[in-house]
Amino acid sequence: MGATLLVASPVAPLNAEPRAASEQVSQSVAGHTAEILEARDGWRRVRLADGYEGWMHEGYLGAVAASVQVVRISLGCTVRDAARGVERALPFGARVPRDAEIVAGEAVDDAERHARFPATGSAVATSAARWFTGTSYQWGGVTPWGADCSGMVQAVFALHGVSLPRDARVQAEQGKIVMTSRESWRPGDLLFFSERADGRITHVALVANADTLMHVAIGRGGFAVERLDQPLDDYTVGLIGRLRSARRVL
């Protein structure tokens, strides 16, 4: 144990238990690392780069991480494997090997990424709308192919060079406190919600501006924009009623 492998599959589920039928708690995507902690009947208990732990089947894992040089981040692209002559789609956030030929879509290298995707609130909000509009809700998902609230937030901030924890309740401990009044919000702020009696955070949304929130929510079926400067529907009224805190991580 202790080896660090690269995820080989475009999207690799992270399960709560070493069973395919167990709860998907998160995902990783191609080219990201998984530290092996334990092996059991074809399954590996792994720790992802963000510290999240769970079970991943060995079929999703590939080469030892140190043996592969990765230089580009997928913005949603299709690559051709020169050795096997096959094409495959890679989701937003996947890491693209140097020798992979991009035949559709786009990937960005690190130097270009820092220039194109600065760590500013307005830029983060723009990226969320660009890549996650139309995304369906999927518990544990982290890509535009299916995401949950904190998965989208983590993925979009990562594109802009900002590392955040995986879960909303832990994201709610990052950065500094912001007042929950709309006048205090800036683009890129994170709002945290709870429907629980104990107030434990269960949902996160991204501020686009003082009048607009973006999030991935099961109640909306996926990515949604909430306009607070217009007459509110029952869903938005309920959402705002569950607002518990706001944080600024930029």
Res 78 pLDDT > 60: yes
**100 and 163 fall within a common domain:** no
- Pick from 97-106, 108-117, 187-196 the range whose average pLDDT is largest: 187-196
Report CA Rg, the chain.
Answer: 19
- Let me know whether 20 and 89 are in one domain: no
pLDDT digits (tens, 9 = 90+) for 187-197: 999 999 999 99
Beta carbons within 10 angstroms of residue 103's beta carbon? 10
pLDDT confidence band for 243 (50 / 70 / 90):
very high
Tell me: do 231 and 166 sit in the same domain: yes
pLDDT in tens, 147-158: 999 999 999 999
CB atoms within 10 A of CB 235: 13
Residue type for position 160: H
Share of the chain above pLDDT 90, in %: 88
Confidence of residue 69 (pLDDT cuts 50, 70, 90): low
| CA–CA separation, 132 and 222 (whole Å) | 9
pLDDT at 68: 54
Same domain, 77 and 52: no
Q: Are residues 27 and 82 in the same domain?
A: no
Number of structural domains (the chain) is: 3
Cα–Cα distances in angstroms (integers) from residue 195 to residues 2, 80, 187, 222, 241, in the given order: 39, 46, 24, 19, 9
User: Over the stretch 123-171, which tens digit does the pLDDT of each residue have?
Assistant: 999 999 999 999 999 999 999 999 999 999 999 999 999 999 999 999 9
| 213 close to 225: Cβ distance less than 8 angstroms | yes
- Give the residue from 67, 87, 105 where a domain finishes: 67
Do 210 and 161 fall within a single domain?
yes
Q: Cα 205–210–215 angle (5° rounding)?
A: 20
Please tell me whether residue 236 adopts helix, strand or coil conformation. helix
**Mind listing the pLDDT tens digit for each residue in 41-60?**
999 999 999 999 999 999 99
Q: What is the pLDDT of residue 111?
A: 82
51 and 147 together in one domain? no
List Cβ neighbours of 230 (8 Å cut-off, separation of 6 or more). Answer: none
| pLDDT greater than 60 at residue 67 | no
**pLDDT value for 2:** 80
Residues 136 and 207 in one domain: yes
CATH code of 32's domain: 2.30.30.40
Indicate whether 85 pLDDT > 90: no
pLDDT of residue 81: 78
- % of the chain surpassing 70 pLDDT: 97
Same domain for 141 and 240, yes or no, is yes
Which structural domain range is residue 80 located in?
70-114
Based on the fold, state whether residues 158 and 235 are members of the same structural domain. yes
